[in-house]
Protein backbone atom coordinates (compact mmCIF):
# COMPACT_ATOMS: atom_id res chain seq x y z
CA UNK A 1 0.00 0.00 0.00
CA UNK A 2 1.12 3.58 -0.68
CA UNK A 3 2.98 5.10 2.26
CA UNK A 4 0.56 8.02 2.49
CA UNK A 5 -2.23 9.32 0.29
CA UNK A 6 -4.94 11.95 0.55
CA UNK A 7 -8.27 10.86 -0.92
CA UNK A 8 -11.01 13.46 -1.29
CA UNK A 9 -14.59 12.36 -1.99
CA UNK A 10 -16.90 15.01 -3.45
CA UNK A 11 -20.56 14.43 -2.66
CA UNK A 12 -22.37 12.57 0.13
CA UNK A 13 -25.21 11.06 -1.83
CA UNK A 14 -25.67 7.33 -2.31
CA UNK A 15 -22.55 6.92 -4.49
CA UNK A 16 -20.24 9.21 -2.53
CA UNK A 17 -21.15 7.95 0.93
CA UNK A 18 -20.83 4.28 0.07
CA UNK A 19 -17.52 4.97 -1.71
CA UNK A 20 -16.03 6.87 1.23
CA UNK A 21 -17.11 4.34 3.84
CA UNK A 22 -16.16 1.29 1.80
CA UNK A 23 -12.74 2.78 1.06
CA UNK A 24 -12.16 3.58 4.74
CA UNK A 25 -12.90 -0.03 5.66
CA UNK A 26 -10.40 -1.38 3.11
CA UNK A 27 -7.48 0.94 3.93
CA UNK A 28 -5.59 2.01 7.03
CA UNK A 29 -4.60 5.30 8.66
CA UNK A 30 -1.96 5.99 6.02
CA UNK A 31 -4.86 6.84 3.72
CA UNK A 32 -6.52 10.10 4.76
CA UNK A 33 -10.12 10.34 3.52
CA UNK A 34 -12.00 13.64 3.39
CA UNK A 35 -15.68 13.77 2.46
CA UNK A 36 -16.98 17.09 1.10
CA UNK A 37 -20.69 17.89 0.86
CA UNK A 38 -22.77 21.05 0.71
CA UNK A 39 -25.20 19.80 3.38
CA UNK A 40 -24.57 18.06 6.67
CA UNK A 41 -27.69 15.94 6.06
CA UNK A 42 -28.00 12.93 3.77
CA UNK A 43 -30.99 13.44 1.48
CA UNK A 44 -32.96 10.39 0.38
CA UNK A 45 -33.56 11.78 -3.07
CA UNK A 46 -35.89 8.93 -4.02
CA UNK A 47 -38.30 10.26 -1.38
CA UNK A 48 -38.53 13.81 -2.70
CA UNK A 49 -42.04 13.21 -4.05
CA UNK A 50 -43.05 12.40 -0.46
CA UNK A 51 -41.32 15.54 0.72
CA UNK A 52 -43.28 17.61 -1.81
CA UNK A 53 -46.51 16.05 -0.49
CA UNK A 54 -45.73 17.39 2.98
CA UNK A 55 -44.77 14.13 4.62
CA UNK A 56 -42.37 14.23 7.57
CA UNK A 57 -39.27 12.26 6.62
CA UNK A 58 -36.57 10.98 8.92
CA UNK A 59 -33.52 13.22 9.31
CA UNK A 60 -30.24 11.48 8.50
CA UNK A 61 -27.20 13.56 9.48
CA UNK A 62 -24.04 12.71 7.56
CA UNK A 63 -22.33 12.37 10.94
CA UNK A 64 -24.59 9.42 11.79
CA UNK A 65 -23.09 7.50 8.85
CA UNK A 66 -19.49 8.48 9.56
CA UNK A 67 -19.60 7.68 13.28
CA UNK A 68 -16.91 5.13 14.11
CA UNK A 69 -14.96 5.75 10.91
CA UNK A 70 -11.88 7.90 10.42
CA UNK A 71 -13.43 9.87 7.56
CA UNK A 72 -13.07 13.62 7.89
CA UNK A 73 -16.12 15.69 6.93
CA UNK A 74 -15.95 19.14 5.37
CA UNK A 75 -19.24 20.94 4.81
CA UNK A 76 -19.12 23.24 1.82
CA UNK A 77 -19.95 23.68 -1.85
CA UNK A 78 -17.35 22.65 -4.43
CA UNK A 79 -16.67 25.61 -6.71
CA UNK A 80 -13.72 24.35 -8.76
CA UNK A 81 -11.66 21.27 -9.50
CA UNK A 82 -8.02 21.85 -10.50
CA UNK A 83 -6.54 18.57 -11.77
CA UNK A 84 -3.19 20.12 -12.72
CA UNK A 85 -2.65 21.12 -9.07
CA UNK A 86 -4.62 18.21 -7.63
CA UNK A 87 -6.82 20.36 -5.49
CA UNK A 88 -10.43 21.46 -5.19
CA UNK A 89 -11.89 24.77 -4.04
CA UNK A 90 -14.66 24.48 -1.45
CA UNK A 91 -16.84 27.39 -0.32
CA UNK A 92 -17.56 26.83 3.36
CA UNK A 93 -19.71 28.98 5.62
CA UNK A 94 -16.94 31.51 6.21
CA UNK A 95 -14.13 31.02 3.67
CA UNK A 96 -12.92 29.28 0.53
CA UNK A 97 -10.90 26.20 1.43
CA UNK A 98 -8.28 24.73 -0.88
CA UNK A 99 -8.30 20.95 -0.41
CA UNK A 100 -5.41 18.99 -1.91
CA UNK A 101 -5.70 15.38 -3.03
CA UNK A 102 -3.66 12.53 -4.41
CA UNK A 103 -6.85 10.78 -5.54
CA UNK A 104 -10.25 12.31 -6.08
CA UNK A 105 -13.62 10.53 -6.05
CA UNK A 106 -16.12 12.69 -7.93
CA UNK A 107 -19.69 11.89 -6.86
CA UNK A 108 -21.57 15.15 -7.22
CA UNK A 109 -24.68 13.55 -8.67
CA UNK A 110 -27.22 15.18 -10.93
CA UNK A 111 -30.16 17.55 -10.81
CA UNK A 112 -33.33 18.18 -12.78
CA UNK A 113 -32.37 20.37 -15.72
CA UNK A 114 -34.64 23.16 -16.95
CA UNK A 115 -32.20 24.86 -19.30
CA UNK A 116 -33.61 23.53 -22.58
CA UNK A 117 -37.08 25.12 -22.41
CA UNK A 118 -37.65 28.90 -22.17
CA UNK A 119 -39.34 29.90 -18.94
CA UNK A 120 -38.98 26.55 -17.19
CA UNK A 121 -36.36 27.80 -14.76
CA UNK A 122 -38.36 30.93 -13.90
CA UNK A 123 -41.87 29.50 -13.67
CA UNK A 124 -41.55 25.81 -12.73
CA UNK A 125 -40.47 24.00 -9.60
CA UNK A 126 -38.21 20.99 -9.81
CA UNK A 127 -38.12 18.06 -7.43
CA UNK A 128 -34.65 18.70 -6.05
CA UNK A 129 -34.48 18.93 -2.26
CA UNK A 130 -34.98 22.66 -1.72
CA UNK A 131 -37.66 22.89 -4.40
CA UNK A 132 -39.53 19.89 -2.99
CA UNK A 133 -39.63 21.57 0.42
CA UNK A 134 -40.92 24.77 -1.15
CA UNK A 135 -43.62 22.80 -2.96
CA UNK A 136 -44.73 21.28 0.35
CA UNK A 137 -45.47 24.82 1.56
CA UNK A 138 -47.29 25.93 -1.60
CA UNK A 139 -49.38 22.91 -2.60
CA UNK A 140 -51.88 22.97 0.30
CA UNK A 141 -53.06 26.48 -0.57
CA UNK A 142 -53.46 25.63 -4.24
CA UNK A 143 -55.33 22.42 -3.38
CA UNK A 144 -57.67 24.25 -1.00
CA UNK A 145 -58.80 26.39 -3.95
CA UNK A 146 -59.08 23.33 -6.21
CA UNK A 147 -56.20 24.69 -8.22
CA UNK A 148 -54.34 23.16 -11.15
CA UNK A 149 -50.95 21.49 -10.93
CA UNK A 150 -49.03 20.54 -14.05
CA UNK A 151 -46.34 17.85 -13.94
CA UNK A 152 -44.01 17.92 -16.97
CA UNK A 153 -42.15 14.64 -17.52
CA UNK A 154 -43.53 11.12 -17.62
CA UNK A 155 -40.55 9.17 -16.35
CA UNK A 156 -40.60 7.30 -13.06
CA UNK A 157 -40.25 10.51 -11.05
CA UNK A 158 -43.13 12.19 -12.86
CA UNK A 159 -45.42 9.22 -12.23
CA UNK A 160 -44.50 9.12 -8.55
CA UNK A 161 -44.92 12.82 -7.83
CA UNK A 162 -48.22 13.05 -9.74
CA UNK A 163 -49.78 10.12 -7.87
CA UNK A 164 -48.32 11.11 -4.49
CA UNK A 165 -49.75 14.63 -4.69
CA UNK A 166 -53.06 13.40 -6.09
CA UNK A 167 -53.50 11.03 -3.16
CA UNK A 168 -52.46 13.61 -0.56
CA UNK A 169 -54.60 16.45 -1.98
CA UNK A 170 -57.80 15.15 -3.56
CA UNK A 171 -58.95 18.67 -4.44
CA UNK A 172 -55.90 19.27 -6.62
CA UNK A 173 -56.45 19.07 -10.38
CA UNK A 174 -53.32 17.35 -11.69
CA UNK A 175 -52.23 17.00 -15.31
CA UNK A 176 -49.20 14.91 -16.30
CA UNK A 177 -47.78 15.75 -19.73
CA UNK A 178 -44.91 13.91 -21.38
CA UNK A 179 -43.30 14.15 -24.79
CA UNK A 180 -43.34 10.37 -25.21
CA UNK A 181 -45.27 7.78 -23.29
CA UNK A 182 -44.66 7.22 -19.57
CA UNK A 183 -42.40 4.96 -17.49
CA UNK A 184 -41.08 3.28 -20.62
CA UNK A 185 -39.33 0.48 -18.71
CA UNK A 186 -42.68 -1.00 -17.71
CA UNK A 187 -44.50 -3.89 -19.36
CA UNK A 188 -47.98 -3.38 -20.84
CA UNK A 189 -49.56 -4.89 -17.72
CA UNK A 190 -47.59 -2.58 -15.43
CA UNK A 191 -48.47 0.44 -17.57
CA UNK A 192 -52.13 -0.56 -17.39
CA UNK A 193 -51.90 -0.62 -13.59
CA UNK A 194 -50.35 2.85 -13.54
CA UNK A 195 -53.08 4.14 -15.88
CA UNK A 196 -55.72 2.70 -13.55
CA UNK A 197 -54.05 4.56 -10.67
CA UNK A 198 -54.21 7.78 -12.71
CA UNK A 199 -57.92 7.21 -13.28
CA UNK A 200 -58.58 6.37 -9.64
CA UNK A 201 -56.73 9.46 -8.42
CA UNK A 202 -58.07 11.80 -11.10
CA UNK A 203 -54.74 12.49 -12.81
CA UNK A 204 -55.23 13.69 -16.38
CA UNK A 205 -52.59 12.13 -18.64
CA UNK A 206 -51.37 13.84 -21.83
CA UNK A 207 -48.81 11.66 -23.71
CA UNK A 208 -46.75 12.37 -26.81
CA UNK A 209 -46.78 16.11 -26.22
CA UNK A 210 -43.67 18.23 -25.72
CA UNK A 211 -43.76 21.43 -23.70
CA UNK A 212 -41.87 24.10 -25.64
CA UNK A 213 -42.26 27.13 -23.38
CA UNK A 214 -43.40 27.87 -19.83
CA UNK A 215 -45.13 31.07 -18.76
CA UNK A 216 -46.26 32.28 -15.36
CA UNK A 217 -49.68 30.60 -15.61
CA UNK A 218 -49.47 28.20 -18.51
CA UNK A 219 -47.27 25.88 -20.58
CA UNK A 220 -47.17 26.07 -24.38
CA UNK A 221 -46.98 22.74 -26.21
CA UNK A 222 -45.59 21.75 -29.58
CA UNK A 223 -49.19 21.61 -30.81
CA UNK A 224 -49.57 25.35 -30.09
CA UNK A 225 -51.92 24.67 -27.22
CA UNK A 226 -51.65 26.14 -23.73
CA UNK A 227 -52.06 23.99 -20.61
CA UNK A 228 -53.02 26.33 -17.74
CA UNK A 229 -51.67 25.80 -14.22
CA UNK A 230 -51.36 27.36 -10.81
CA UNK A 231 -48.23 25.35 -10.04
CA UNK A 232 -45.86 23.60 -12.44
CA UNK A 233 -43.50 20.79 -11.43
CA UNK A 234 -40.73 20.13 -13.96
CA UNK A 235 -39.21 16.65 -13.86
CA UNK A 236 -38.44 16.24 -17.54
CA UNK A 237 -34.72 16.98 -17.63
CA UNK A 238 -31.40 15.53 -16.48
CA UNK A 239 -28.32 17.66 -15.85
CA UNK A 240 -25.00 17.52 -14.02
CA UNK A 241 -22.67 20.23 -12.75
CA UNK A 242 -20.33 21.78 -15.32
CA UNK A 243 -17.42 21.49 -12.85
CA UNK A 244 -15.93 18.49 -14.66
CA UNK A 245 -16.17 20.11 -18.07
CA UNK A 246 -14.62 23.33 -16.77
CA UNK A 247 -11.82 21.31 -15.17
CA UNK A 248 -10.91 19.82 -18.56
CA UNK A 249 -11.99 16.26 -17.78
CA UNK A 250 -13.24 14.16 -20.64
CA UNK A 251 -17.04 14.19 -20.54
CA UNK A 252 -19.95 13.09 -22.70
CA UNK A 253 -22.59 15.34 -24.24
CA UNK A 254 -24.43 15.52 -20.91
CA UNK A 255 -21.31 16.58 -19.03
CA UNK A 256 -20.89 13.25 -17.24
CA UNK A 257 -17.29 12.15 -16.69
CA UNK A 258 -16.38 9.24 -18.96
CA UNK A 259 -14.81 6.45 -16.92
CA UNK A 260 -13.10 3.13 -17.63
CA UNK A 261 -14.07 -0.23 -16.18
CA UNK A 262 -12.43 0.70 -12.84
CA UNK A 263 -14.40 3.99 -12.60
CA UNK A 264 -11.28 6.05 -13.46
CA UNK A 265 -11.57 9.18 -15.57
CA UNK A 266 -10.44 8.46 -19.12
CA UNK A 267 -8.40 11.66 -19.16
CA UNK A 268 -7.30 11.91 -15.50
CA UNK A 269 -6.88 8.44 -13.96
CA UNK A 270 -6.18 9.82 -10.49
CA UNK A 271 -9.84 10.90 -10.53
CA UNK A 272 -12.50 8.27 -9.96
CA UNK A 273 -16.08 9.24 -10.87
CA UNK A 274 -19.19 7.41 -9.67
CA UNK A 275 -22.96 7.82 -9.64
CA UNK A 276 -25.03 10.08 -11.86
CA UNK A 277 -22.05 12.35 -12.59
CA UNK A 278 -20.19 9.51 -14.35
CA UNK A 279 -20.79 7.31 -17.36
CA UNK A 280 -18.91 4.08 -18.15
CA UNK A 281 -17.27 4.19 -21.56
CA UNK A 282 -17.41 0.37 -21.74
CA UNK A 283 -20.43 -1.89 -21.49
CA UNK A 284 -20.77 -3.34 -17.95
CA UNK A 285 -23.12 -6.05 -19.16
CA UNK A 286 -26.37 -4.06 -18.96
CA UNK A 287 -27.50 -0.59 -20.09
CA UNK A 288 -26.53 2.00 -17.49
CA UNK A 289 -29.44 4.09 -16.23
CA UNK A 290 -29.50 6.57 -13.42
CA UNK A 291 -30.96 5.09 -10.24
CA UNK A 292 -30.27 4.64 -6.55
CA UNK A 293 -29.10 1.09 -7.23
CA UNK A 294 -26.76 2.08 -10.08
CA UNK A 295 -25.22 4.89 -8.04
CA UNK A 296 -24.60 2.62 -5.05
CA UNK A 297 -23.03 -0.10 -7.20
CA UNK A 298 -20.78 2.40 -9.00
CA UNK A 299 -19.71 3.96 -5.71
CA UNK A 300 -18.86 0.57 -4.22
CA UNK A 301 -16.95 -0.55 -7.29
CA UNK A 302 -14.99 2.69 -7.48
CA UNK A 303 -13.97 2.29 -3.84
CA UNK A 304 -12.89 -1.31 -4.43
CA UNK A 305 -10.75 -0.35 -7.43
CA UNK A 306 -9.16 2.62 -5.69
CA UNK A 307 -8.37 0.46 -2.64
CA UNK A 308 -6.76 -2.07 -4.98
CA UNK A 309 -4.68 0.64 -6.66
CA UNK A 310 -3.52 1.97 -3.30
CA UNK A 311 -2.43 -1.56 -2.44
CA UNK A 312 -0.55 -1.89 -5.73
CA UNK A 313 -3.05 -4.34 -7.19
CA UNK A 314 -5.10 -4.23 -10.39
CA UNK A 315 -8.73 -3.23 -10.26
CA UNK A 316 -11.62 -5.33 -11.56
CA UNK A 317 -13.99 -4.62 -14.44
CA UNK A 318 -17.35 -3.13 -13.49
CA UNK A 319 -20.31 -5.48 -13.95
CA UNK A 320 -23.98 -4.72 -13.48
CA UNK A 321 -27.34 -6.45 -13.74
CA UNK A 322 -30.83 -5.24 -12.95
CA UNK A 323 -33.48 -7.41 -11.35
CA UNK A 324 -36.45 -5.13 -10.90
CA UNK A 325 -37.61 -1.55 -10.50
CA UNK A 326 -40.30 -0.26 -8.19
CA UNK A 327 -42.63 2.72 -8.41
CA UNK A 328 -44.83 4.07 -5.66
CA UNK A 329 -48.30 5.28 -6.63
CA UNK A 330 -49.11 7.08 -3.42
CA UNK A 331 -48.72 5.48 -0.01
CA UNK A 332 -50.95 2.45 -0.59
CA UNK A 333 -50.29 1.40 -4.16
CA UNK A 334 -47.34 0.71 -6.40
CA UNK A 335 -45.87 -1.54 -9.04
CA UNK A 336 -42.72 -3.66 -9.03
CA UNK A 337 -41.56 -4.57 -12.51
CA UNK A 338 -39.18 -7.51 -12.85
CA UNK A 339 -36.54 -7.09 -15.56
CA UNK A 340 -34.32 -9.04 -17.88
CA UNK A 341 -31.06 -8.94 -15.93
CA UNK A 342 -28.86 -8.30 -18.95
CA UNK A 343 -30.95 -5.99 -21.13
CA UNK A 344 -32.85 -4.06 -18.43
CA UNK A 345 -36.10 -4.73 -20.29
CA UNK A 346 -39.41 -5.63 -18.66
CA UNK A 347 -40.53 -9.20 -18.17
CA UNK A 348 -44.14 -10.31 -17.77
CA UNK A 349 -43.78 -10.66 -14.00
CA UNK A 350 -45.06 -7.74 -11.92
CA UNK A 351 -46.30 -7.11 -8.38
CA UNK A 352 -48.90 -4.41 -7.78
CA UNK A 353 -50.87 -2.76 -5.01
CA UNK A 354 -49.91 -2.35 -1.36
CA UNK A 355 -47.41 -5.21 -1.51
CA UNK A 356 -45.49 -3.50 -4.32
CA UNK A 357 -45.38 -0.30 -2.30
CA UNK A 358 -44.01 -2.20 0.69
CA UNK A 359 -41.37 -3.91 -1.45
CA UNK A 360 -40.19 -0.55 -2.78
CA UNK A 361 -40.11 0.88 0.75
CA UNK A 362 -38.05 -2.08 1.94
CA UNK A 363 -35.35 -1.50 -0.67
CA UNK A 364 -35.26 2.26 -0.08
CA UNK A 365 -34.66 1.60 3.61
CA UNK A 366 -32.18 -1.16 2.79
CA UNK A 367 -30.06 1.27 0.81
CA UNK A 368 -29.41 3.30 3.95
CA UNK A 369 -28.45 0.17 5.87
CA UNK A 370 -26.15 -0.85 3.01
CA UNK A 371 -24.25 2.42 3.38
CA UNK A 372 -24.02 2.13 7.16
CA UNK A 373 -23.08 -1.52 6.80
CA UNK A 374 -19.83 -0.57 5.08
CA UNK A 375 -18.45 0.06 8.58
CA UNK A 376 -18.51 -3.72 9.01
CA UNK A 377 -16.99 -4.61 5.64
CA UNK A 378 -17.51 -4.70 1.88
CA UNK A 379 -19.32 -8.03 2.16
CA UNK A 380 -22.43 -6.16 3.35
CA UNK A 381 -23.11 -5.07 -0.24
CA UNK A 382 -22.81 -7.45 -3.15
CA UNK A 383 -24.80 -6.35 -6.16
CA UNK A 384 -26.21 -8.49 -8.99
CA UNK A 385 -23.80 -8.70 -11.91
CA UNK A 386 -20.76 -7.69 -9.86
CA UNK A 387 -18.66 -10.55 -11.24
CA UNK A 388 -20.13 -10.80 -14.74
CA UNK A 389 -17.19 -8.95 -16.39
CA UNK A 390 -14.49 -10.67 -14.32
CA UNK A 391 -12.83 -12.09 -17.45
CA UNK A 392 -12.19 -8.60 -18.84
CA UNK A 393 -8.73 -7.19 -18.09
CA UNK A 394 -8.47 -3.69 -16.64
CA UNK A 395 -5.41 -1.76 -17.89
CA UNK A 396 -3.08 -0.12 -15.41
CA UNK A 397 -3.66 3.60 -14.89
CA UNK A 398 -2.23 5.84 -17.59
CA UNK A 399 -0.49 9.15 -16.88
CA UNK A 400 -2.90 12.06 -16.70
CA UNK A 401 -3.68 13.87 -19.94
CA UNK A 402 -3.06 17.64 -19.79
CA UNK A 403 -6.32 19.55 -19.48
CA UNK A 404 -6.03 21.26 -22.87
CA UNK A 405 -5.44 17.94 -24.63
CA UNK A 406 -8.33 16.28 -22.78
CA UNK A 407 -10.69 19.10 -23.75
CA UNK A 408 -9.67 18.89 -27.39
CA UNK A 409 -10.11 15.12 -27.37
CA UNK A 410 -13.56 15.47 -25.87
CA UNK A 411 -14.57 17.94 -28.55
CA UNK A 412 -13.52 15.52 -31.29
CA UNK A 413 -15.06 12.32 -29.95
CA UNK A 414 -17.99 13.10 -27.67
CA UNK A 415 -19.99 15.89 -29.25
Q: Are residues 30 and 135 in the same domain?
A: no
Residue 398: pLDDT band (50, 70, 90) is low
Which of 168, 201, 234 terminates a domain? The answer is 234
Q: What is the mean pLDDT of residues 24-46?
A: 96
Q: Are residues 245 and 187 in the same domain?
A: no
Q: What is the mean pLDDT of residues 280-309?
A: 94
Q: In this structure, is residue 197 part of a structural domain?
A: yes
- pLDDT > 70? residue 315: yes
Average pLDDT, the chain: 92
Q: What percent of the chain has pLDDT over 90?
A: 82
Q: Are residues 49 and 22 in the same domain?
A: yes
- pLDDT > 70? residue 197: yes
Phi and psi torsions of 120, nearest 5°:
-65, -40
Instruction: Give how many domains the chain has, as a whole number.
Output: 2
Q: Are residues 271 and 401 in the same domain?
A: yes
Which of 203, 219, 234 terminates a domain? The answer is 234
Across 205-237, b (16+ Cβ under 10 Å) vs e yields bbeebebbebeeebbbbeeeeebebbbbbbbbb
Q: In this structure, is residue 338 part of a structural domain?
A: no
Chain segment 154-193, per-residue pLDDT in tens: 889 999 999 999 999 999 999 999 988 777 789 999 999 9
CATH of the domain at 139: 3.50.50.60
Q: In this structure, is residue 367 part of a structural domain?
A: no
Q: How far is CA 290 from the centre of its chain?
A: 6
- pLDDT > 60? residue 122: yes
285: left (phi over 0), alpha (psi -120 to 50) or beta: left
What residues does 211 pair with on adjacent strands?
A: 221
Q: Are residues 132 and 190 in the same domain?
A: yes
127, 161 contact by CB (below 8 A): yes
Residue 180: which domain range?
Answer: 120-234
Q: What is the mean pLDDT of residues 80-104?
A: 96
- pLDDT > 80? residue 404: no
Chain segment 200-212, per-residue pLDDT in tens: 999 999 999 999 9
Q: Are residues 404 and 258 in the same domain?
A: yes
Q: What is the mean pLDDT of residues 63-84?
A: 96
pLDDT attached to residue 396: 77
Q: What is the mean pLDDT of residues 25-41?
A: 96
Residue 1: pLDDT band (50, 70, 90) is low
Chain segment 363-386, per-residue pLDDT in tens: 999 999 999 999 998 899 999 899
Amino acid sequence: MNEHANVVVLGAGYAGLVAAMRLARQTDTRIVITLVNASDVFHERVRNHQLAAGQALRRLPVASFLRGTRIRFLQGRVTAVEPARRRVAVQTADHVASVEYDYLVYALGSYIGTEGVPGAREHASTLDDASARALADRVPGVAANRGRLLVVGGGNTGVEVATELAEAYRGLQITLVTRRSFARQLSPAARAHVRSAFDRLGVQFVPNTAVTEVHARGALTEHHETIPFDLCVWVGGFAVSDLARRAGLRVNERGQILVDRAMRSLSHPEIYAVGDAAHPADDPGAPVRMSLYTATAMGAHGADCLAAELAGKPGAAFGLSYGALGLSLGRHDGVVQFLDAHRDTPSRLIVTGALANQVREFFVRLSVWVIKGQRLGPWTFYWPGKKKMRGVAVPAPRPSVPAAVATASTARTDH
